[in-house]
């Protein structure tokens, strides 16, 4: 396969995967919100940071209605996940923390691809359970380069 054909094939597969990922995200959002409601969670914050071709999510913090951190380690939810390197989706039950991590990585992949490359990006994935909203706040890093010729001033 020629390079051009390979690249076209790759981008076509990625486009299909992203379309399925967006649909799956909506179903996973509902499942996770249901799990958070059952655990009496009012809101969630999950920080992320990436640069230099790697990135990670920090542990989620779950808050009650009175804005105090609560433990949700016993809560499980079933969400859809992609098989690695595939567009095939399978349903899997997992701890809430793992499901949130999957959802956050999927959101980053669709809305801020490359967040972990070069200077990278950092931010917060927030969920307001009662409102049913999820927000991805992203701060992109950049490098500014300036060259000034010095010497020879009169």
User: Looking at the domain that runs over 3-140, which CATH code has it been given?
Assistant: 3.30.500
Q: What is the pTM of this model?
A: 0.80
Q: What is the pLDDT of residues 61-109, one digit of tens each?
A: 999 999 999 999 999 999 998 776 666 788 999 999 999 999 999 899 8
- Encoded tokens for 107: 């959101």
> Which residues, other chains included, contact 91 with Cβ-Cβ below 8 Å and sequence gap of 6+?
78, 79, 80, 81
Domain range list for the chain:
3-140
Q: Residue 122: what pLDDT?
A: 95
pLDDT band at 1 (very low <50, low <70, confident <90, very high): low
- The mean pLDDT value for 38-63 works out to 94
Q: How far apart are CA 99 and CA 28, in angstroms?
A: 8
Choose the weakest-confidence range: 33-47, 69-83, 101-115, 140-154: 140-154
- The mean pLDDT value for 48-70 works out to 94
State yes or no: pLDDT of 21 exceeds 70.
Answer: yes
């Amino acid at each position: 396969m020629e390079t051009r054909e390979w690249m076209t094939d790759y981008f076509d597969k990625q486009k299909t995967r992203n379309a399925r990922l967006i649909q799956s995200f909506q179903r996973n959002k509902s499942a996770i919100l249901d799990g958070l409601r059952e655990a009496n969670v009012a809101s969630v914050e999950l920080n992320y940071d990436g640069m230099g071709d790697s990135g990670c999510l920090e542990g989620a913090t779950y808050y009650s209605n009175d804005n105090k951190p609560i433990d949700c380690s016993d809560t499980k939810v079933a969400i859809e996940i992609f098989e690695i390197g595939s567009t095939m989706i399978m349903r899997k039950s997992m701890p809430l923390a793992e499901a949130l991590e999957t959802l956050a990585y999927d959101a980053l992949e669709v809305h801020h691809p490359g967040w972990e490359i070069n200077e990278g990006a950092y931010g917060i994935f927030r969920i307001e359970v009662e409102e049913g909203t999820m927000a991805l706040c992203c701060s992109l890093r950049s490098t500014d380069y300036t060259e000034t010729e010095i010497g020879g001033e009169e």
